[in-house]
């Protein structure tokens, strides 16, 4: 019989970090460490309960654990362990890092590190091509991804990823986190999108010479877009849609919703719409806004 874990004195929460190999888990774990979390990498799921108990006895306030496919044989135990920890009163936040296959192949090529599911790391199995290993890894982690907060790192620099992770863990784990993210369609739709709204139909400040070098966060661009009737209609319709469905998502035990707003370059329209929506949803304490293309330039 499994002994329930007493977690009252732990105080805050446990962050479980997982995802596809090469998606940036080491960077994210370092960001959590810098944010004051006691971090452990590659802990087998069957040891998680005892580890939590040990850190409780030590009085550790915040704990982060990275779990990945290197403990593939133990992965089926991860979700039941999370459920038992939550049932014992511990707030558990599950973060899943993902990236496009193209981005992962490029990263492995640049670092020349082997994928953990290649024959060198799995005795007795035939060598796998990198893409085959990534596909198998996605299959093994699919059930975990389905219940986690997903971050698409395909287009992110390390500094962006650190910032996004800090933003997510700064939101109370017990509340639904609503994320508005602007992006450029020419760089691809974010993998972590729950809803995608295409605002390329709106008037484009790019074609106004004095507005071209600015962004949707700058007052001249914001004033121009705010004066366009189509922009107001788009904002009202997106807000109405979200206001209607967010209570249903919360009742379905969703812990996060990512709303992605896309335009051509990810500089003007999508940035303004995302920023304006985030302000309109400030009544929700777990509302975040991020701008993929602008953050990349920062």
Question: For residue 5, what pLDDT is reported?
Answer: 39
Question: For residue 298, what pLDDT is reported?
Answer: 56
Residue 3 forms part of a structural domain: no
Question: What tokens does 141 get?
Answer: 């982690």
Question: Residues near 194 by Cβ (< 8 Å), separated by ≥ 6?
Answer: 257, 258, 259
How many domains are there within the chain?
Answer: 2
Residue 136 forms part of a structural domain: yes
Q: How confident is the model at residue 296 (pLDDT cuts 50, 70, 90)?
A: low
Q: How confident is the model at residue 60 (pLDDT cuts 50, 70, 90)?
A: confident
Highest mean pLDDT among 43-47, 92-96, 292-296: 92-96
Per the DSSP assignment, residues forming a β-bridge with 95 are: 17, 149
Q: Are residues 288 and 192 in the same domain?
A: yes
Judge contact between 102 and 61, C-beta under 8 A. no
Q: Are residues 34 and 115 in the same domain?
A: yes
Q: Are residues 24 and 85 in the same domain?
A: yes
Judge contact between 153 and 142, C-beta under 8 A. no
Can you count the helices (H) and strands (E) in the chain? 10, 9
Residue 89 forms part of a structural domain: yes
Q: Are residues 158 and 184 in the same domain?
A: no
Of 122, 146, 169, which marks where a domain is finished?
A: 169
Of 169, 197, 227, which marks where a domain is finished?
A: 169
Per the DSSP assignment, residues forming a β-bridge with 195 are: 259
Residue 2 forms part of a structural domain: no
Which CATH number goes with the domain that contains 19? Answer: 3.40.50.300
Question: For residue 208, what pLDDT is reported?
Answer: 96
Q: Are residues 212 and 157 in the same domain?
A: no
Q: Are residues 94 and 206 in the same domain?
A: no
Residue 59 forms part of a structural domain: yes
pLDDT tens-place string over residues 4-44:
334 343 445 899 999 999 999 999 999 999 988 999 998 88
**Looking at per-residue confidence, does 3 or 157 come out higher?**
157
Question: For residue 249, what pLDDT is reported?
Answer: 85
Domain that holds residue 132: 8-169
Q: Give DSSP secondary structure letters for 155-192.
A: T--HHHHHHHHHHHHTS-TTS-EEEEEEEEGGG---TT
pTM for the complete prediction?
Answer: 0.78
Residue 78 forms part of a structural domain: yes
Of 146, 169, 192, which marks where a domain is finished?
A: 169
* Alpha-carbon distance values, 134 to 45, 139, 161, 248, 266 (Å): 21, 9, 21, 34, 29
- What does the alpha-carbon distance between residue 263 and residue 201 come to, in Å, rounded to a whole number? 8
Strand duo 195-198 + 177-184: pairing: unpaired
Question: For residue 241, what pLDDT is reported?
Answer: 97
Contacts 24+ apart (CB under 8 A), 53-60: 53/5, 53/6, 55/10, 56/5, 56/6, 56/7, 56/9, 56/10, 59/9, 60/10
Q: Are residues 94 and 217 in the same domain?
A: no
Question: For residue 122, what pLDDT is reported?
Answer: 53
Q: Are residues 200 and 148 in the same domain?
A: no
SS3 of residue 94 by DSSP: strand
Question: Residues near 157 by Cβ (< 8 Å), separated by ≥ 6?
Answer: 296
Judge contact between 111 and 27, C-beta under 8 A. no
Q: With a cut of 70, say whether residue 77 has pLDDT above it.
A: yes
Q: Are residues 130 and 198 in the same domain?
A: no
Question: Residues near 174 by Cβ (< 8 Å), separated by ≥ 6?
Answer: 91
Question: For residue 119, what pLDDT is reported?
Answer: 57
SS3 of residue 17 by DSSP: strand
Q: Are residues 165 and 181 in the same domain?
A: no
Residue 115 forms part of a structural domain: yes
Residue 1 forms part of a structural domain: no
pLDDT tens-place string over residues 107-117:
988 877 888 88
Q: Are residues 148 and 220 in the same domain?
A: no
Q: Could you tell me how far CA 147 lies from the centroid of its own chain?
A: 12
Please state the rounded mean pLDDT for residues 37-64.
Answer: 87
pLDDT tens-place string over residues 132-187:
889 999 999 999 998 899 999 999 999 999 999 998 888 776 578 899 999 999 99
Q: What is the mean pLDDT of the chain?
A: 87
Q: Are residues 247 and 130 in the same domain?
A: no
């Amino acid at each position: 019989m499994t002994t329930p874990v007493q977690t009252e004195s732990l105080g805050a929460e446990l962050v479980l970090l997982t995802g596809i190999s090469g998606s940036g888990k080491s960077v994210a774990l370092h960001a959590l460490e810098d944010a004051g979390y006691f971090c452990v990498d590659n802990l087998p799921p069957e040891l998680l309960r005892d580890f939590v108990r040990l850190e409780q006895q030590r009085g550790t306030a915040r704990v982060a654990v990275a779990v990945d496919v290197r403990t593939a044989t133990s992965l089926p135990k991860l979700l039941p362990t999370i459920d038992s920890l939550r049932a014992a009163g511990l707030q558990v936040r599950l973060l899943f890092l993902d990236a496009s296959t193209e981005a992962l192949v490029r990263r492995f090529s640049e670092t020349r590190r082997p994928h953990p599911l290649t024959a060198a790391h799995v005795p007795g199995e035939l060598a796998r091509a990198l893409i085959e290993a990534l596909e198998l890894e996605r299959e093994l982690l699919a059930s975990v991804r389905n219940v986690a907060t997903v971050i698409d790192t395909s287009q992110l620099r390390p500094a962006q990823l650190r910032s996004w992770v800090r933003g997510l863990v700064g939101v109370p784990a017990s509340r639904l986190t609503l994320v508005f993210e602007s992006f450029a369609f020419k760089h691809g739709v974010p993998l972590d999108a729950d809803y995608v709204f295409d605002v390329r139909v709106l008037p484009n400040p790019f074609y106004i010479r004095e507005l071209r070098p600015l962004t949707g966060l700058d007052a001249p661009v914001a004033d121009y877009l705010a004066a366009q009737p189509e922009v107001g209609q788009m904002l009202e319709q997106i807000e109405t849609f979200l206001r209607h469905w967010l209570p249903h998502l919360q009742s379905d035990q969703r812990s996060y919703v990512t709303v992605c707003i896309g335009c051509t370059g990810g500089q003007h329209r999508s940035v303004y719409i995302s920023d304006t929506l985030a302000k309109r949803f400030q009544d929700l304490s777990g509302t975040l806004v991020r701008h993929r293309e602008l953050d990349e330039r920062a």
